[in-house]
Homo-oligomer: A and B are copies of this chain.
Amino acid sequence: MDVKTVCLGMLTDGPASGYDMKKCFESSFGHFFPAGYGSIYPALATLARNGMVEFVEVPQEGKPDRKVYSITESGREELLKGLSNLNPTHKVRSEFLAIVWFAHLMSDEQINTVIDNKLIEIEGFLKLFEAFPDCECDDVPKGAQFVAGFGQHMAESIRTYIKDNRDMLTDLDEEPDVKVAIGS
């Protein structure tokens, strides 16, 4: 599955421009399937060339024209093909874990900063979920709810693991600062 398939999937929710899709990748999709302009625009161009999507150019005032894409019938068939993978991947690419793997080559201070920053990042991410608690309200598709819950569960799980095990990584956990009794 590539960005083309995901773009087709997004268009089943209604017409959208490349810019709209980029925002969608930023807000939700990108957390588990990232894409930037450099993959979105070529994907849309290819899909249009092959008749999977159609577009109309909507003139704007003072802004570039919008190209608003819609999925076609061929596009819907292509999408179902793209989704029909019974062994889909789930890949992680983590600079964080690579750095931690080589912790013994680095200073305790460096590692501690990396860990602190990662915990802050996770905390910020988890705050996003407090906003809409278990949004099983409206017409949000069950799949999206499952994926959102997955993300939240993962973030909590990572936070827990890091907090519970970070002291493995530094020689002295938190510079003991033990005042040895003088004259003992």
Contact of A94 among B32, B97, B121, B141 (CB under 8 A): B32
Are A153 and B147 within 8 A (Cβ)? no
- Chain B residues with CB under 8 Å of A101's CB are 9, 29, 141, 143-144, 146-147
Q: Is A33 an interface residue (CB 8 A)?
A: yes
- Chain B residues with CB under 8 Å of A147's CB are 97, 100-101
Q: What mask results when residues 163 to 179 of chain A are scored 1 for a CB within 8 Å of chain B, else 0?
A: 00100110000000000
Contact of A169 among B104, B142, B157, B165 (CB under 8 A): B142
Of residues 119 to 151 in A, which have CB atoms within 8 Å of B's CB atoms?
121, 141-147, 149-150
Q: Is A31 an interface residue (CB 8 A)?
A: yes
Are A104 and B154 within 8 A (Cβ)? no
